[in-house]
Structure formats: structure tokens, C-alpha cells
Structure 1
Amino acid sequence: MDLIPATFQFSVGLKTPLFHSVQLVLSWERPQDLLALPFIPMEMGLGEDGCPYFEATVQLDEQRAGQKLYWSVLGYGPAGSLGPLVTLEAGEPSSWDDWNHLYRCLVFEGRPTREVYRFCLARWLGANARRPSSESDQRKIEFSVWAPFAQRVELVRAKVWDWTNPEKNLFAHPSVWERVCGGYVGDQGEGMEEEAIPMTRDPKGVWSYRDDSYERWRARAYLFRILREDGSLVYRTDLYSRSQIGEGYLNPRGRKYQGPVEALEGSVSASLVVDPESVIDPSHPTCLWPEPQETFVPEEAFWMEEFSTEFPLPSRIEDLIIYEVHLGALGFGREGAGTFEDAIQFLDHLSELGVNAVELLPLCEFGDGPENWGYSTSHYFALEYGSQGRDQFKQFVRACHRRGMVVLFDVVFNHYLPDAERAEWKYDSERDEHNLYYWYEPGLGYLDNGSSGYAPRYCEEMVRHMFLSSALVLVEEFHVDGFRVDLTNAIHRDNVAHNTPVPRANLFGCRFLRELTRTLRTVRPNLLLIAEDHSGWAAVTDREGPAGLGFDAAWYAEFYHSLVGDAPRGPEVARLLWVAGQGGDGPLNLQQFGSILSSTSSRTVVYHKNHDEAGNDPGTARTLVTAAGGAEYLTNPTARWYAEARARWVAGISILSAGIPLFLFGEEVGAKEPFLYGQVLPHREDLIGKRSGEGAGLFTFYRDLIHLRRSHEVVRRGQIEVFYTHNVDRVLAFRRWIESTELLVVGSLANSPYTHGYRVSSPRLSSGSWREIFNSDAAAYGGHNVANGKTLLSSAGGEMTLLLPACGFVVLQRSEG
């Protein structure tokens, strides 16, 4: 019997040492038997990518040639328990919960073989440094791109020069950024530096080129020139690029371009070689590009003082109070879109407000300029250059952490940038069936899913793995604390081709979302994962079952539509704020809203305003505008008073619910301008100025209410019960309790106060003594101070009488005495 060596490697692709006691499992029979077989220890090594790997070599019987061999990898990670490290599922799913395929499979050919499973692809594909082979050697660089249908791939350097240099030569010294030109190669090769460099293909369709000197390529602009399957020659950006050089709006559409790089749209501009292991030192700011080497510090040094013992980070989803902000809308008082520098300056405002989670609208490279919302990603590993890019984002994350705020990153995996001509679209083939990154259904066409573009090809493992790897990089290199995943129901439920359902795409969408949450929790068990999901499917937030999609919480849109309701809805939806804002004293459907409020929990993200419904969706507006019945009424002092009181009411109900509260930037100071896609800057408001002016009362209200939630465990973790609603009186009451601690929230949207007392009657109201601890009508908030004061209120026989302000609420705490 001849034995043939076979080597199996688990390549981590992340620098942080995460795993230990890693073991290989093999099975010739069935993959289900893997865990029942002996484990083979794997030896740890350090790869040329600078990341750990684990490897084992076994001897295989030559007579098994032609048979299938299943293998997987187990190990101990940050969670502290033995678990699978192969997080991608294999094979064809038969149902949405067909998950148990965490293995690889090879057909043994009877000769020495080497199999590699890559946990993260970011240090394999793209432009990456390679460790020197000896201390006297220098770092090398390797460029790699997946293009399985290409006939030929070449590496192309794009010319970049200082506009004062008529010869358009490369920099002898760093230049002022505004003078940097080029960064684009036309379809006929205009703007290309020197000759193209041939790349070599491996059996899996990955093309590579290695150079002996990393420094020769530092901050150099490059593209790939691809001879596609049909013989057409195209230029493509690196989808694993850590940076795209452009930051503007201009797309040359293949024509010759010699203008400034700051005018170029990033999605079509050249990719840049970036060293992820160094960070620009914020104490050495520079306006030069490429940045001088002395302005960088090692990433380990940069992150050394990341946290503050005075301001610990929240680690549980129910502890979050989320502030949703668009970077491009900052930068008050000047021209141009906001930057990370503006965001860092804005953090003092958020610190005083008391929020502990900042959710940023998407910032991976997108089209149409830096003030765009960002929901059209072209490059998932590159930070939008117009926002100041990757190093400034790291500075922002560090500044948040020092203030006790987690950073939630919004990612879009349901479609790409619609005009992805030099990115994902027909990357290496003109054939629809071979359009690598898009799901094309023969005979039907490309898949839609209710998002803003065609659906990704979730059945292709390399596509799913690209998304997963980009998220891992955001955790590993940028230290983000969690993700909000955009429109997940588009991924797992809504895939269609011209209205014809494509169930297979939905099954692979479920698989991808499981893989995403499983992979991320393998490296960071307490990572905060939120789905924007409108399906109501319980599996989305199922973390216990292995087939669950694994998110901590999902957006609860029904809460918003019932509480605020400025988007048109049917008569069965309460639309409380919108109806109240129309004027009159008619009944409100508090009973319907009460059932929605009762369903809030730590698995629901609740909001009274988000980016979609602040003027962009038809009928919607900022909360204050909806509360007034229209912006034109806010100039009337009486109408404005009622608008602010109602705005406080909906914010209070949201923040005091059992859900995870979120609100859009500017709500805390009464922003009035709509937040519109493509028109962010014309409607930008100076939030800092409003805070010290007409928005001062609202800011104080938000600050105090947030402090109440953060300082009372019963609000963050307690149960909820709506025990009283009266549609005609416009009164609602609910209780929050945990163990022996209990709060009552009683609110009224009546236009007149109940100054002679309002009787709440319910058999579910327990007997006891109560003290008012919060009142939305306080004079400090701009209210009329209709309050119960320090008087102890009593409840007995299921009844209680208390004072209620107009369009206000009070919070009562059960008195221990």
C-alpha cells in the first residue's frame, strides 16, 4: 500500500492571534461523520502575509484515488469553546435551515495534494505586502485578482503627477493634494505608466504578480487590464483595494483624463497601494500626498490608548442608544461635505447628549460624491476617499471609544453601485452567465430584490467570501463594534427575476447571512449585529438555533409607522403623530399602537425618525415638521409649542420602550430641513448652532431622557406591558419592570392638560405608592410644568389619579417605602 502525502492548511488572513489548539478532521465516508472521527492536531506558523496559519500533513492511501475526502477544521477562539473554524457552508442548500455543511471536499487524485481554507481573503487578494524571507531582506508585494474567465490579466500603473510638472512625471517629492492629477487610465491606455506587467494564473482563476520591493509600490496607483472571455480588452479596478484615489463626481467614461484626482469619482479611479499596518499619526497632520513616511505610526502604537476606564463601552445590545448620522451632512458653516475631522469635533455634542452608539451611514467606497448617502457600494475594502479615508476613520473610531461610544458600521450586501462599469459589472466576461458578481437566471434575466440594483450572486462562494472578508477587515483593522446590515429581507426573501420568484436565490441568501454572523462571531463573540429587516421572520434574530440568521436585533418599522406615520398607510395603522399634527381633538388609535409597543424587546430596534423617513420617502418629514402639520406652521409660537411637545412625546415613548432606541441626527435639536438623497448639502443645518438657540429645550429633554434610560436597568432590560389605552382621551399607560423595580409611563396626546387629574383604571395596575421622576412638560424643556411634583401618588383597586400635561408624559417609579 503506497501512501501519498496531503497537506491541509487553515489560513487565518488576520494578523491578530485569535485561535489555538486547532485540529483537522477528515472523513472518506460522509461529512456528517466528521465530528465522530479522531482529531489531528495542526501546527501553527506565521505566513508570508504576516498572519497565523495552521497546517497538518497526513498520509492517504493511494488506492482511494477518485474518492471524495471531506475535511474541516476545529479550534478554540475568543469565545473560549471548541467550535468550527470553517464558517462557509458547502454544497447546494435544500431548504432555508439546511446549514450543517461546514466542511470542504476534494476528490483525491492519488498524488501529493495541498488544500487551503482561507478564513479571510483580504491579505490574499488585492495588493498586499509579503514578509521578507530573512532579516536582511526587504518586504515584497503581491497583486492578486480573481478573474476565472479572463484570457489574460496584466497589472497597469496609472500616471499620477503634480500639475506644475509639464512632463507629467511621477513625484520626486510629495505634493499638495489639490495639485495631484491623473489617477485614471482611458480605454485606449491613455494615462498608463510604462508597460503593462503580465500576471500568472493559478488553477482556481486567481492571477498574481509579485515584486521584490514593497516600497517601490507604496502609494502607487494601479489597475488590472483584462482580456475578457470574448476577446474584449477592459480596465478594471481592484475590488480588494484598500483605497480608491478619486473623491469627486467625474466619470471620464473611458476617455483620456488629465485633471485633478480630487474631481474623479472614486469607483472608476485607480486603486492605491495602502499599508494596513501603519496609520497616519494625528499629531503630525499633513496636506501632502503621498503622505511622508514619518507621518505614519505602527497600528499597534496607534491603538494603544484606545479605551478609557472612565467611559466603558456598552457590550450588550439592550444597553445601546443609537445615534444615526450621515458624515456628509456634517461640516457646518463651510462648503463641501462633512469629513471625519468634522465628525470627531461633533463627538463632544454627542457625549453631552449621552448616546453611546454611533451608527454611520455607509462609508465603503461609493459613487456620486462624498455627500451621497452611500447605499451603493463599489469597493468593500476601501473607505470613501472624499470623507478623508481610512486613517481618519480609525481616528474617529478611537475618539468614539475614548468617550464610551461604540461604532456601528452600515453595510450594503444586497446590491452594488448601479453603474459599476470598472468594478463588479462584467469583470472578466461579457456573457451574462459569467457575470461573476451578479445573479443571472438564464431565460429570466438579472435578479431584483427590492433594493436599488441587481442582486449579487450569492450562490458563488467567492462573492459571499468577499463580503465576509470586508466585514472582518472592518473589525480587525478599524475596530468597529458592530454592523447594521442593509435590507436583509432583500437577501433572504425578495429575490425575483421580472416578478418571477427565484427560491434558490433566497436559500443562498439565508446561507450568506448565516455565514456572515457566524464568521463575525467567531472572531468577536460580542459583536453587535443589527438587521434592517422588514419580514417579521423570527429566524432573523435567532442566535440560539444553528439555522437562525444570527442577528441580535432587527429594525421594527411597524413601530415607526404606528407611532409617527407620516408615510401614507391604511386606516388600520395608528399614525399617531401625523394624525395629531393635523389638528383637532378627535380620537387616536392608541389601542393599535399599544399592541405594537407591547411587542418591543431587545430584539427590535425602534425609532421615531431614521434616514429613509425624514423627507426622502413620499409624505415623510422631520419629526418637528410632522408634529406641526407642516413646516409653515412652525413660525407660529403656539403651533411650534405643540409641535415640540408632540416631538418630545414620540421620542419619549421610543426611548422608554423595551426596544433598542435609534434616532436620526438633528432630532435632538429640532431639525426641520428634509434629509434628501442627492440634496444633502442644500438642506444642511447647523446643529451646534441650533442647540444653543431654538433647539436648546429639546436638547436638554433628550439629554435627561437618555440619562434616565442609561441609569435605570429596568428601562434597558425590563419587561413591558401596555395596561391602559383610551382612544378618545388620547391617553396611554405602560409599565416596565424587572424583579421588584417597576416604572409606569403615562402619556397623553390630548391638546389640553388634565390639570384636575386623570384616572387610569386597569386590573393590571398594581397597588402601591409612586413618585414622579420625569416629566416631558418641564419648563427646562419648554413645557408648562404641569407636574405631580414630589407628591406621592397612590394606586389601589386597579386605579390611580394623576396630573397629565398636554401632549406630554410622566414617568413614575414605585416607592419602596
Structure 2
Amino acid sequence: MKLGSHYLGHETCQFRVWSPTRKQVSVHLLSPEDRLVPLTQGKNGYWEATIEGVSPGTYYQYQLDGDLERPDPASHSQPKGVHGPSEVIDHSAFIWQDEAWQGLPLSQYVIYELHVGTFTPEGTFDAIIDRLPDLVDLGINAIEIMPVAQFPGSRNWGYDGTFIYGVQNSYGGVEGLKKLVNACHQAGVAVILDVVYNHFGPEGNYLWAYAPYFTDRYKTPWGDAVNFDQADSNEVREFFIQNTLYWLETYHIDALRLDAVHAIYDLSAQPFLQQLGAAVERFNESTVYPRYLIAESDLNDVRVLQSREDGGFGHASQWCDDFHHGLHTILTGENSGYYCDFGSIEQLAKSFKQGYIYTGEYSPHRRRNHGNIPKNTTGENFVVCIQNHDQIGNRLLGDRLSQLVNFERLKLAAATVLLSPFVPMLFMGEEYGEKAPFQYFVSHSDPGLIEGVRKGRAEEFKSFGWENEVPDPQGETVFEQSKLHWEQGFTGAGKVLRSLYKTLIELRKQKPALSRLDLSSVQILTASPQKVLSVQRQSDQGAILVIFNYEESSLDFNPQCSHSTWQKILESTATQWQGSGYSYPETLPETLSLAPLSFVVYEQP
């Protein structure tokens, strides 16, 4: 049986909750009439009942041991926020119209990460639908939504959620999310949902009242760890596994991005993440098209991607921080904090070939060896970007790349990501060089918690040496400042940059050598100590050569390619991209004169 409340039709609802330490559990129905109905205790600490006279929209709470009342840990809807009652939802009432949707292979994804609250002025699921034509025109075929699990207040990144089955009421709730997914699928766009299984937010977290969901065996930045490997952890795991399947089945989500799996503490012989991979694989056996798990991990541990038969977790892909860090340091010159581990062109070349840069070498930032070798991986196993919510929002002022580098470097950044042999991801507004920051914001109600967040943010920035005053995360100003200015993408330099992004995405989709994510066919050449990278990619239908010059000066470079004819198909120096006007040779010479801060693409049939 599934956790939570499940409306069965005909004013009948099934309730099920796990609470092994309680002697008595009842469901308190608050509307339309006040009723208290005892639940029956079953195996493994579950309490359940099927109750008549319950209609959709009924508010309820569980009463524990006769006095303590709390919302449902598996609540599907919290219309009055994290401290209010839960709501019975009739999921069958929504009429899906995405029967024609057959999904997309992960290797074809071009991902666009967005935050619901700041993506549009309205900050709702409905408002995103109105922007889908712009994204489709750009070439986007997958959106990644930052977490929507119910969080306190109306302003939050979503990683402070406390009801992982709920949908944020201020975004549009259950109905709003379904409408968005339905519209995306009708437009040919997959939907990735960011979920958080490594911790719960500090406000509105009532799981402690029900069961041992947490353990003091391990400490996390957010307090006691989620109990994935101690006593009673079987049912804790079941809570999260059911949540994954709930999003895939009930909301037709195409993939889940698992936040910070390195913060899931689990020393068991059969880790939760491995069990989760198996559950999704079983789910896929009965579906028309496969769903995916995409992990965020900073461990550079190939076990995330390896098959379970080889001792891995069997996840489809993971975010590749090394690629971002290697490219960011080359473009910006920043070397503080974790960026001190990066900066050479050889590192970026290594990432182009295998994702990870650190595969067991000593990391100065960590002051220890880091990572292992990603054997038997393909390009679709890595999601790469030059901007995302973390890398922007965890800067002191939330400044985007457009505020750190010039236009030529923005073009180089776009080409490096979109012409890489990995799954590319953009962060909302990146395609036109959005100038607004993306800052960290919350809307807690506890004064002590608010002050704790403020102090915590100040501590985070010490290792980077940033000396500005930390913006107040609780203030509404940082939230409003973080909203997109869509008009920037249709005039001036913003229009030019967007057009280049569109061209690069089209090129990626049209050229088999670029759409093929076989890393064994990628050949890399650098020009160290100069920061020049030459990438040749091959397919049965031809080859593509991309040469990136990250130097501020021109220089001569021998790409050392075969002597067959290579024809130029794209150059960032063209005036249509607001370049210098320098024209690369139409056919590739033995020695090529590279313009400063530029890239050029050649094709061999």
C-alpha cells in the first residue's frame, strides 16, 4: 500500500502512515465536518484505514497518542503552508493529454534549469507554460525545475522543503504542476524535477514526531542525517523510493535530479542509492519510455554511474562539477575557494575526454587525493554547464557569468558547453546574458532561524575572500532582484547571444558527430602553455573539428588533423555575432592563425 492519503472515488479515502513508536494513531478530518477516526496498526509500524464520507479537498491531520496533531509526512498538498493541515487530492480528476509523448533518449537532452518563482514575473507553473514557445524556438527539449516540495513561506530555492510529496502552494500546487508537465510533453519537452533526499528543511519538519527518520550517527550541515542505514531504515528508504515512483507515475516526470547524493550517509552493503536505481529500472520495465535518475555528486565516484552488477548505483547520469570548474577558471581567472584546484587547459582537455578531472590526484582545496577513474562511461553519463543555480547563487552577490566576463568569453562559454560530448545544461537567462543576479533567498517565520541563515551565509564566503556585505537572504529585495528580464533576449547583444545559442544547439542536433556522445571517438589536442583546445569528434557520417582560443592574443596553431579537406561552418568572430570581423580560412590550413578569445568550427564530410 502507498503512503499518505489516496482518494479511491465515491467519497472514500485510504490513509496510511508509518509511526512505529506510537501506541495510538488517528486521522483527524477537519472539513467539511470535524471527525476523529482511529487507524489500525499493521506490520512494521504502519497505521491505516479506509474511510467513507471523505471527499477531495478535505483537510486532515494525524493525531498521535491522543494529543499531538501533525500534518501527513506524505502529504500531497499543504494549501495553508508547512504548518497547516494536509489536503486529500483526487489525482484521477486531472485529464492528461500527453498520450503521444514517447520521451527522449537522455543523450538528446538539451536541458534548461529554471526556478519557478523567478523565471517569470508571476512566479507560477502556469506562467512557465506561456514561455515554452521561446524555449522550444531556442532548441530546448528538457526543462529542469528546481525543487517544488512544499517549503515555508513563498520565497525559497526549494532545498528547504519539508513535505517531499507536496507541491508548493504558491507556485500553483498539484494542478499547476500537472498542467505544466502536460504542456511540456505536448510541446516535445521533457521535464526533470529536482528532489532532495539528503535532508529536510528546518521549518515545518514534523517527521521526528512519527518515526526514526533521522539518526545522530552522522552529522550533516543541516543537523542529524536521514536514517538510511541504521535501525528501522528499511521503512525510511521505502518512504523515499515511493516518493520517486510517485513523481514518475502521478506527475509523468521524465527524470529526477537527486540533490547532493554525497550528503546521503549510508555505509550499508546495499546502499539506498543502489536500491533506488533498481526501483526505477523495475518501473521502466512497465512503461512506454524510460525515466532517468541524474545524481549531483561532488565525489567523482564512478559508482554512481556503474551498473549494480558491477557494484554501482545504476544511475543514468550525474552533474559534472569538474567540467564547470575547469572552464570557469579559464574564462574568469578566479582561483579562490575550490577554484584553486583548477585553471589549466590540460584539465579542461581531460574533462572533455572523460568528465572527471580529479581521478585520484591530490586536490589542494581538499588537501587529500580525490576521485576515481570513470571507466566504461559515455557522454550521456555527464551533465555539463557553465552556469547553474549553485555556481551563481552561492556567490556572494549571486552574479552571473555575464557580470564577470566580456561578450567574447560568453560566446566561448556557450560553444564549449554546447559542442561538448556531454549532455548540456543552461541556466535560465544564460542564453541572452541575463544581467540580473540569482541570489539566495528564504522566507522563514522563526526569528532565530532567520538569524542562523544569515550567519551561515556569511561563514560560507570566508574561503573565497569576498569582502562585500552579504545580501539579506530573508529580504524580499534579493528575491525580486533575481527575476529574469526577458526583454534582454530580444534586443542588442542579448538578441545576438541568444541567436548564437540557437545556432549552436541546431548544429549539435544536426551534425551526427556532435549528437553522438561516444567518448572513444573524441580526440583532444591542446597548445599548452597557451590556452588553446582542439576537439575532433567523429561519426560514420563525417567529423567535426572545434578549435577554442581562450587567450586574449592571437597565435598560430597546428591542429594536426588529417590532410583531407575541412570546410568552415561557424566562427565566433563573424560580425553577425558582434565579433571582430576576422575571417577564418574557408578550408583548414596546416597552420591556423587564431583570433583572440574565439572559436571556429570545421566539418569534414
**TM-score normalised over the length of structure 1:** 0.62
SS in 2 for 1:564: helix
Match of residue 683 from structure 1? 481
Q: How many Å separate the matches in 1 of 2:502 and 2:490?
A: 14
Match for residue 776 of structure 1 among 572, 582, 587? 572
Match of residue 116 from structure 2? 327
Q: How many Å separate the matches in 2 of 1:456 and 1:363?
A: 20
> What pairs up with 1:100-499 in 2 under 5 angstroms?
121-122=1-2, 125-130=3-8, 138-158=10-30, 194=34, 196-214=36-54, 217-227=55-65, 233-246=67-80, 266-279=81-94, 299=95, 302-303=96-97, 305-307=98-100, 313-314=103-104, 316-332=105-121, 338-369=123-154, 371-421=155-205, 423-427=206-210, 435-441=211-217, 447-449=218-220, 452-459=222-229, 460-491=233-264, 495=265
Question: Does the 8 Å CA contact 1:623/1:647 hold for their aligned counterparts?
Answer: yes
Between structure 1 and structure 2, the one with the greater Rg is: 1
SS in 2 for 1:391: helix
Q: CA shift at 1:540, angstroms?
A: 0.8
Q: CA shift at 1:569, angstroms?
A: 4.5
Question: Does the 8 Å CA contact 1:483/1:530 hold for their aligned counterparts?
Answer: yes
After superposition, the C-alpha distances for 1:575-632 in whole angstroms (9 at most, x for unaligned) are 4xxxxxxxxxxxxx322322222223221111101100114245873111221xxxxx
After superposition, the C-alpha distances for 1:203-241 in whole angstroms (9 at most, x for unaligned) are 443323433334xx321111011128xxxx321111222
SS in 2 for 1:245: coil
The reply on whether 1:616 has 2:394 as its aligned counterpart is yes
After superposition, the C-alpha distances for 1:254-298 in whole angstroms (9 at most, x for unaligned) are xxxxxxxxxxxx22211001101112xxxxxxxxxxxxxxxxxxx
Q: How many Å separate the matches in 1 of 2:247 and 2:175?
A: 12
Q: How many Å separate the matches in 1 of 2:173 and 2:20?
A: 31
Q: CA shift at 1:515, angstroms?
A: 4.2
Q: CA shift at 1:700, angstroms?
A: 0.6
Question: Does the 8 Å CA contact 2:508/2:514 hold for their aligned counterparts?
Answer: yes
**Is the helix fraction higher in 1 or 2?**
2
Match of residue 601 from structure 2? 811
SS in 1 for 2:392: coil
**Is the strand fraction higher in 1 or 2?**
1
Match for residue 594 of structure 1 among 325, 346, 349? 349
Question: Does the 8 Å CA contact 1:416/1:453 hold for their aligned counterparts?
Answer: no
After superposition, the C-alpha distances for 1:373-410 in whole angstroms (9 at most, x for unaligned) are 11123222221111101112111111111221110111
Amino acid at match of 1:400: C
Match for residue 713 of structure 1 among 512, 530, 533? 512
Question: Does the 8 Å CA contact 1:414/1:486 hold for their aligned counterparts?
Answer: yes
Q: CA shift at 1:521, angstroms?
A: 3.4
Against the structure 1 CA distance between its residues 210 and 783, is the aligned structure 2 distance closer, same or farther, given a 3 Å change threshold? same
Against the structure 1 CA distance between its residues 784 and 467, is the aligned structure 2 distance closer, same or farther, given a 3 Å change threshold? same
Match for residue 559 of structure 1 among 323, 334, 340? 323
Amino acid at match of 2:303: A
Uncovered stretches (5+) of structure 1, i.e. residues with no partner: 1-120, 132-137, 160-169, 171-192, 247-265, 280-298, 428-434, 442-446, 496-501, 576-588, 628-642, 795-799
Q: How many Å separate the matches in 2 of 1:723 and 1:330?
A: 37
SS in 1 for 2:214: coil
The reply on whether 1:646 has 2:409 as its aligned counterpart is yes
Question: Does the 8 Å CA contact 1:325/1:360 hold for their aligned counterparts?
Answer: yes
Match of residue 792 from structure 1? 587
SS in 1 for 2:388: coil
Amino acid at match of 1:380: I
Q: How many Å separate the matches in 2 of 1:809 and 1:661?
A: 18
Question: Does the 8 Å CA contact 2:274/2:308 hold for their aligned counterparts?
Answer: no
Amino acid at match of 2:213: Y
Q: CA shift at 1:489, angstroms?
A: 1.8
Q: CA shift at 1:572, angstroms?
A: 6.4
Q: How many Å separate the matches in 1 of 2:8 and 2:134?
A: 43
Against the structure 1 CA distance between its residues 470 and 622, is the aligned structure 2 distance closer, same or farther, given a 3 Å change threshold? same
Q: CA shift at 1:449, angstroms?
A: 4.0
Q: How many Å separate the matches in 1 of 2:578 and 2:401?
A: 17
Amino acid at match of 1:320: Y
When the two chains are superposed, the root-mean-square deviation of aligned CA atoms in Å is: 2.5
Amino acid at match of 2:258: V
After superposition, the C-alpha distances for 1:114-162 in whole angstroms (9 at most, x for unaligned) are xxxxxxx43xx3222346xxxxxx4522322222211222222336xxx
Question: Does the 8 Å CA contact 2:216/2:224 hold for their aligned counterparts?
Answer: no
Q: How many Å separate the matches in 2 of 1:325 and 1:619?
A: 19
SS in 1 for 2:591: strand
SS in 2 for 1:378: coil
Q: How many Å separate the matches in 2 of 1:360 and 1:453?
A: 26
SS in 2 for 1:772: strand
Question: Does the 8 Å CA contact 2:559/2:592 hold for their aligned counterparts?
Answer: no
Amino acid at match of 1:715: L
Uncovered stretches (5+) of structure 2, i.e. residues with no partner: 356-378, 442-472
Question: Does the 8 Å CA contact 1:130/1:140 hold for their aligned counterparts?
Answer: yes
Higher relative contact order (CA 8 A, sep 6+): 2
SS in 2 for 1:534: coil
